[in-house]
Chain A
Amino acid sequence: MADHKPKGISRWLFTTNHKDIGTMYLVFSFIMFLIGGGMAMIIRAELFQPGLQFVDPNFFNQMTTLHGLIMVFGAVMPATVGLANWLIPMMIGAPDMALPRMNNWSFWILPAAFGLLLSSLFMEGGAPNFGWTFYAPLSTTYGPPSTDFFIFGVHLMGISSIMGAINVIVTVFNMRAPGMTLMKMPLFVWTWLITAFLLVMVMPVLAGAVTMMLTDRHFGTSFFDAAGGGDPVLFQHVFWFFGHPEVYIMILPAFGIASAIIPTFARKKLFGYSSMVYATASIAFLSFIVWAHHMFTVGMPVQGELFFMIATMLIAVPTGVKVFNWIATMWQGSITYETPMLYALAFVILFTIGGFSGVMLALTPVDWQYHDTYFVVAHFHYVLFPGAIFGTMAAVYYWLPKWTGRMYDEKLAKWHFWLSIVFVNLTFFPMHFSGLAGMQRRVPDYAIMFSDFNMMSSIGAFGLGLMQLLFAWILIKVCILEKGEKATDRVWEDAEGLEFTHLPSPAPYHSFETPPKID
């Protein structure tokens, strides 16, 4: 059947096609990634040496705040939603997402949300400057006027995420091809299904937090103000009840990606499929009962601290199971090292390093020394950059030939990988040291004993920034200039999954109009 689609801009504005919407999500997230990365460059330039050389402290705080918000809500989350849109229908043998119009709407809310957020940079009093965690009362009583734009921006992002998540849940439960039982679904679909449940459960909590902020700021309530009977720490409890599951929202899809890529290039079935599913579900469950480990210094009762310490340490068990399963998948396989595999393996190793520092941070007595230092910054950048973002890059390299019908430039991609590995470690590894030596987070200037490690981090960060431009060029070559050899339908020698075994490359605009047979 021929593709019916409008030409020009209206194709994109009115599209209800999961592939178009997936593409828009991915392009949008890449633009946000570059904007948020640009802010990181400003941060690292200021931290290149002690002293204030480039920006004033207030603007520096705006940069750290927007960098965090844009990377979390604008880059990582939409990127994984884009992958879900592209891949889930093809992986389960469905013609499209279950709710295609809502799909369109949930994407087009995002540019408005980030337009609101970024416009605050040009307002009197400047953009939000209270950190991406926007702790009250710094963000309520003391927030700049633009905080209200931030609040509405966050509301819109939340609505978009909730709609995207509902769509995934409905699609997975209703649109699977006959014979595609739950325990036959590719792990990427599983991890995204669990992610979607996390999203619908915690995004409303975030919406509640920002709404309480709004009424505290303008309507005379005192949720977070002790003078009116409220409690600033309540804000942190509400925020982290959202915030901790949020970190798994960002990383679970990457787990699914690694579980798709490693078996392909090891030419061996994924080891322990069902334990992977159960481990993912356990991680998701535990993520709801560990939120206060972000708050060990706020003055909790010691019993509370003990509970959150133990619960947090437990997360290491299912996470360890996943890592061991990936290694067992490789074990006695027949491994080749194309770029997606390199990224997937780097993901496993570097994410695990982030996991180690996570276990250390869980130990409450030592956390008093780590908390709010660069050690924490090193920890979460290890799980986010070489974790979630390398996972996404692995996915892009792995499925790009299926999406476009063309192979990317393998040579440039290898350069992109090896230099990224050097720079990502050069940027973030020294942060462990500066944090342990006592450098606190979110400062534009620091004592001279931290200068060598900061200079290294800055040089690494500039290199890492450049690498993203190389990534952009690799993508432009394939997607816009249409260069590169034609991909086969299977793309990779032993790729499994309906998108490789049942569909041509590039995948047609409408796929699986009649469901495939699954045995």
Chain B
Amino acid sequence: MSLFRKMALVIAAISVVILSGCSGQEYNMREGVTEISREVYSLHMIAIWVCVAIGIITFGAMFYSMFAHRKSKHPNPAKFSHSTTVEIIWTVIPFIILIALSVPAVSLLIKMEDASDSDLTVMVKGYQWKWEYKYIDGDDNLGNDVSFFSNLDQASRDQSVNAGSGFSGTEITDDNYLLEVDNPLVIPVGQKVRFLVTADDVIHSFWVPDFSVKKDAVPGFINEVWTKVDEPGVYRGVCAELCGKDHGFMPIVVKVLPQEEYDAWYAEKVAAAEAGPDLNERTMSQLMSEGEAAYNKYCSSCHMPNGEGNGPFPSLVGTEMVTGEGSIEEHIDVVLNGVSGTAMQAFGNQLTEAEIAAIITYERNAWGNDTGDKVQPQEIHDIQNGGGE
């Protein structure tokens, strides 16, 4: 088989396989739902076609030469080895093409970086491995009326772990697998929303492809990015910067609502915040069942569902801090305030009193720990409000 037959065969084989994957799968950038994202998309398409055109010319010349100037057809090689004119031409032309490409890019970039005159500001904070959204009220700076955490949904978590092992696992069919959260970010349609992006621990990156928004969340620094969404809907993104073990498991879901619905949602959130925390006393079985649910949501990805830990993450089964005499204060302290320099976060700012009480009770009584200790939401509330550290 001649060289060129082989080459044709190879190109055909690769294209058939790859194109067969294209059908029914997304294979290009999304146009998105904002003016900016559409401009980004068209710049992307221009760049692709410029590359394709240059590729056709360059590779066309190359393939022609490979074919026409092979030894069997062209036994006597030419002698030339430079030509100043040609060399100047192929230095100047690419230069001009690049300048032409950079013109729309420059103006678009300046537009994307202009977050002034926004209608609404939301603080986005990355944690290992969840997001916090805080609505910053324009009237009383940092009036933290509404803020909440957004975690990967339990269904995705379960499917990921239960996918079986080896090449013949259970097939996952859920369209929103790894792209669903418990509490989505909610913003109004048609308003310029400014995001102040930061992080609590390591660098994360807030990415919503449909908005063409990607900004790193850097601990200790605040970055600004904005969007103005044209159509109501649910838009999904992910954390784009490696942030540790569960980097692939902290999606972003943004629900864009019409203004009235957004206002109603916001009023409901404000009312809930004003009502204060639920500090009702619970029975042991209530604490255990609430605790199990909360543990699986917030703790099990490091300490594992069986409590035995994994690698750098310590076991909670029979360890001094969990079952030891009089260890309960230290246990509460670690959960509330974290352990600095490790992945153990200060959950006191993240979870409700009821969740913390239930988790601690669950940890002290599950997996054969059986200490019989019970922690009530009120105790946690007292410690957090001056009673303890």
Residues of A within 8 A of B (CB): 45, 48-54, 56-58, 61, 125-126, 129-131, 135, 137-138, 141-142, 144, 225-227, 231-233, 266-275, 297-299, 302, 305-306, 309-310, 313-314, 316-317, 320-321, 323-325, 327-328, 330-337, 345, 348-349, 352-353, 356-357, 359-360, 363-366, 368-369, 371-373, 418, 421-422, 425-426, 429-430, 433, 436-438, 440-453, 456
Give the nearest-CB partner of B36 in chain A: A365
What 4 new A-B contacts, CB under 8 Å, besides A299-B224, A321-B91, A369-B209? A50-B177, A142-B343, A268-B78, A331-B61
CB distance from A318 to the nearest CB of B (A): 8
B47, B214, B220: the one contacting A368 at CB < 8 Å is B214
Give the nearest-CB partner of B110 in chain A: A302
B43–A137 CB distance below 8 A: no
Total interface residues on B, using CB and 8 Å?
A: 117
B209–A231 CB distance below 8 A: no
Q: Mark B72-83, 1 if CB is under 8 A from A, else 0.
A: 001111111111
**Which of B14-22, B268-276, B347-355, B358-366 contacts its partner?**
B14-22
Contacts of B207 in A (CB 8 A): 372, 440
B25–A418 CB distance below 8 A: no
B30, B172, B205, B248: the one contacting A57 at CB < 8 Å is B248
A310–B112 CB distance below 8 A: no
Q: Mark B88-126, 1 if CB is under 8 A from A, else 0.
A: 001100110010011001101110110000000000000
A452–B25 CB distance below 8 A: yes
Contacts of B218 in A (CB 8 A): 226, 232-233, 298-299
Give the nearest-CB partner of A50 in chain B: B172
A332–B248 CB distance below 8 A: no
* B164 in contact (CB, < 8 A): yes
A126–B215 CB distance below 8 A: no
Give the nearest-CB partner of A450 in chain B: B25
CB distance from B186 to the nearest CB of A (A): 21
A430–B18 CB distance below 8 A: yes
A232–B112 CB distance below 8 A: no
Contacts of B245 in A (CB 8 A): 57-58, 61, 129
Contacts of A333 in B (CB 8 A): 65, 69, 74, 77-78
Contacts of B30 in A (CB 8 A): 437-438
- Residues of chain B from 29 to 82 with CB closer than 8 A to chain A in the complex: 29-30, 39-40, 43-44, 47-48, 51, 54-55, 58-59, 61-62, 65-66, 69-71, 74-82
In the assembled complex, 9 residue pairs joining A and B whose CB atoms fall closer than 8 Å, in A order, are A50-B163, A130-B242, A273-B81, A302-B110, A334-B75, A337-B70, A436-B29, A440-B240, A448-B175
Q: A141-B341, A309-B102, A366-B44 are in contact. Are A334 and B76 (CB under 8 A)?
A: yes
Q: A135-B203, A371-B214 are in contact. Are A125 and B109 (CB under 8 A)?
A: no
Contacts of B179 in A (CB 8 A): 447
* B247 in contact (CB, < 8 A): yes
A426–B17 CB distance below 8 A: yes
B240–A373 CB distance below 8 A: yes
A51–B159 CB distance below 8 A: yes
Q: A51-B160, A51-B169, A272-B82 are in contact. Are A321 and B27 (CB under 8 A)?
A: no
Contacts of B246 in A (CB 8 A): 57
CB distance from A207 to the nearest CB of B (A): 23
A433–B43 CB distance below 8 A: no
B54–A356 CB distance below 8 A: yes
Max chain B C-beta neighbours (<10 A), residue from A51, A267, A268, A306: A51
A349 to B62, CA, bound (A): 9
Give the nearest-CB partner of A134 in chain B: B242
* B319 in contact (CB, < 8 A): no
B47, B54, B215: the one contacting A299 at CB < 8 Å is B215
A233–B55 CB distance below 8 A: no
A297–B214 CB distance below 8 A: yes
Q: A226-B221, A233-B218 are in contact. Are A52 and B62 (CB under 8 A)?
A: no
Contacts of A324 in B (CB 8 A): 58, 90
CB distance from B176 to the nearest CB of A (A): 8
B18, B24, B47, B83: the one contacting A359 at CB < 8 Å is B47
Contacts of A348 in B (CB 8 A): 62
B178, B197, B311: the one contacting A126 at CB < 8 Å is B311
Contacts of A430 in B (CB 8 A): 18, 21
Give the nearest-CB partner of A272 in chain B: B82
Q: A58-B311, A137-B203 are in contact. Are A444 and B26 (CB under 8 A)?
A: no
* B238 in contact (CB, < 8 A): yes
B58, B76, B220: the one contacting A323 at CB < 8 Å is B58
Contacts of B141 in A (CB 8 A): none
* B13 in contact (CB, < 8 A): yes
A353 to B52, CA, bound (A): 10
B21–A452 CB distance below 8 A: yes
A142–B201 CB distance below 8 A: yes
B6–A418 CB distance below 8 A: yes
Q: A330-B65, A372-B241, A429-B14 are in contact. Are A142 and B202 (CB under 8 A)?
A: yes
A149 to B214, CA, bound (A): 34
* B299 in contact (CB, < 8 A): no
Give the nearest-CB partner of B174 in chain A: A448
* B219 in contact (CB, < 8 A): yes
Contacts of B61 in A (CB 8 A): 327, 331
* B290 in contact (CB, < 8 A): no
A272 to B248, CA, bound (A): 48
Give the nearest-CB partner of B28 in chain A: A436
CB distance from A445 to the nearest CB of B (A): 5
A447 to B18, CA, bound (A): 19
* B87 in contact (CB, < 8 A): yes
- Residues of chain B from 233 to 265 with CB closer than 8 A to chain A in the complex: 237-249
Max chain A C-beta neighbours (<10 A), residue from B161, B197, B219: B219
Give the nearest-CB partner of B217 in chain A: A299
A433 to B18, CA, bound (A): 10
Contacts of A356 in B (CB 8 A): 51, 54-55
CB distance from A68 to the nearest CB of B (A): 11
A448–B177 CB distance below 8 A: yes
CB distance from B369 to the nearest CB of A (A): 24
Contacts of B70 in A (CB 8 A): 334-337
B43–A365 CB distance below 8 A: yes
* B3 in contact (CB, < 8 A): yes
Contacts of A451 in B (CB 8 A): 25
Contacts of B209 in A (CB 8 A): 369, 438
- Residues of chain B from 264 to 319 with CB closer than 8 A to chain A in the complex: 310-312
Contacts of B108 in A (CB 8 A): 365
A53, A137, A360, A445: the one contacting B164 at CB < 8 Å is A53
Contacts of A425 in B (CB 8 A): 14
CB distance from A270 to the nearest CB of B (A): 7
* B385 in contact (CB, < 8 A): no
B311–A125 CB distance below 8 A: yes
